[in-house]
Structure 1
């Protein structure tokens, strides 16, 4: 019996090379349960076929997933739209994984050292996703991406994401999570780096470095919040459904593989003859450069943790 596209999108991949969407840089919807339902797999929850798929994914990641059709100046818009959408999908899942790990830390449930490691690795991967979604040229962002959000709502903002409230306090640094003391400095460094990268990307892409919502605040017009989450999900092709943690993990791995292939093919900042945008000072920090080089490896470490495995050292396929 032929597997439906919906089943394929929720399942683990068994094909080499690009297998996301119908062609390179195509999109698939993301299915997530509504918060606060957990998305983290419990210990020993993987059936044997899923175990095999995860093992295959991690083995392939060690050697690199290969490449696909590179972009040129005429297809930059398609690439950056793909990155904008899929990078946000991965961020949404990371937020949910972070929320689950925060629950473990605040409740004192399970191995607290392991929970602190998960928190740090997930924040590190989110730093990478900020760079990935923000890799667009300013021209493409201003011509295509920003107007698409404005057409949905003139005050469109990432803070409307239904999965964000559970991790808002973590990224704003108002109340550091009570992780084991030895792990706290590394976690706090990664949290600070997310804020630095976010400011740098905003400075690179947006006039005066402000989001649509920040402009709305200055104008004194915030509007009604009742439909914001639904508008946000519709824009980012995110469906709310009773999917299992196993299905969430499968979707995450599929996206990680597609991102790794994209970066192996095009690099984080494609060199196709377009003039380079000025780099804001926030993005000139050596810590940001290190995060760029670690982007693919951080994603694979996150995939391993999400699947109940230890992080994978020495992962191939850096963002060149």
Structure 2
């Protein structure tokens, strides 16, 4: 792994800089394709999105945990609110790319190994984001995050995420007929790991409790609809606009770099690499998505 002390001064200063949001650990809006319009190849809107450099993101992913000279959050609340919102935004971007891959598989045909491997990579990235978003203590989750979701909607649920809908069967562990061969088996294993990680995070943050959706079943449970999808988007600072696949990839790179800088400044060696290793694999494959 790279160490700040071994880098030339210009690169070292670049990696120290926090360039996400208006201040360290600030948030940014996410711009996603409309629900009925998959991302296509098109240039990002001018002055709205910047095409972030893959190599710059990779350099941040190689910073050692507890690197010195990096931006620190003003408070614990600021750190974990950043992780909750930004981690979910990364997840939504990964779901969008996965949805396009699933849609590309012709009905009645097996998926090729490259597609299955990309789906495995994105699934592992999603698992990493579960760990990252849910890295706060149960006390912080109960005091900071859960009340804000409740105020948004008493039955607030991740099941309302529009980009999750095309992946519901896959990510709930239902083996698809096109998941064949060794690459298909690896995807099945990645999904199983993802489901176990989701259950572990939920059990840690809400011990012996229920999600907001489960808690509200008797009174105000709401099934996923375009309206609940909009509520979910609103909470995670997401707007829908006609953006291309390269804009989706650029926004993903931008957020992955911020996550890497956060973990280099605040993460612990025992957990940071579990999150960063899957992201390195995702970033290595991202240029293919814009071709």
Relative to the length of structure 2, the TM-score reads 0.81
Query: What stretches of structure 1 of length at least 5 have no aligned partner?
Result: 1-14, 270-288, 310-320
In the other structure, the counterpart of 2:206 is 206
Shift in alpha-carbon separation, 1:121–1:150, aligned structure 2, 3 A: same
SS at match of 1:165: helix
Instruction: Specify the alignment match of 1:133 in structure 2.
Output: 133
Give the 3 Å change call, closer, same or farther, for CA 54–216 of structure 1 in structure 2.
same
Q: CA deviation at 1:63?
A: 4.2
Matched with 1:282 is none
Check the 8 A contact 2:120/2:190 in 1, yes or no.
yes
Residue number in structure 2 paired with 1:222: 221
> Out of 258, 277, 284, which is 1:304 matched to?
284
Q: How many residues align?
A: 266
Cα deviation for residue 111 of structure 1 reads 7.8
Contact 1:20 1:28 in 2 (8 A): yes
The separation in 2 between residues aligned to 1:136 and 1:300, in whole angstroms, is: 23
- Normalised by the size of structure 1, how large is the TM-score? 0.74
- Whole-Å separation in 2 of the counterparts to 1:192 and 1:109: 23
Separation in structure 2 between the aligned mates of residue 259 and residue 63 of structure 1, nearest angstrom: 12
Contact 2:111–2:179 (Cα < 8 Å) also in 1: no
Mapped contact 2:119–2:187 kept (Cα < 8 A): yes
Superposed CA deviations along residues 176-221 of structure 1, whole A, max 9, x for unmatched, are 351341112211111011111111111111142421112223x254
Matched, 1:64 2:67: no
Rounded to whole Å, the distance in 2 between the matches of 1:132 and 1:169 is 24
What does the per-residue CA deviation read over 1:47-92, in whole Å, with 9 as the maximum and x for residues that have no partner?
xxx999334444x246439662335xx7111100000000000000
Shift of 1:305: 1.8
The separation in 2 between residues aligned to 1:64 and 1:40, in whole angstroms, is 33
Aligned to 1:248: 248
CA distance in 1, matches of 2:91, 2:140: 21
Shift of 1:308: 1.3
Residue by residue over 1:132-160, the C-alpha shift from the partner in whole angstroms, topping out at 9 and shown as x without a partner, is 01101111110110000000110000011
Aligned to 2:149: 149
> Does structure 1 conserve the Cα–Cα contact (< 8 Å) formed by 2:35 and 2:240?
no
Residue ranges of structure 2 left out of the alignment (5+ in a row) = 1-13, 45-49
User: Which structure 2 residues correspond to residues 26-175 of structure 1 after superposition, within 5 A?
Assistant: 26-39=26-39, 53-58=53-58, 60-61=59-60, 63-64=62-63, 68-71=70-73, 75-107=75-107, 112-175=112-175
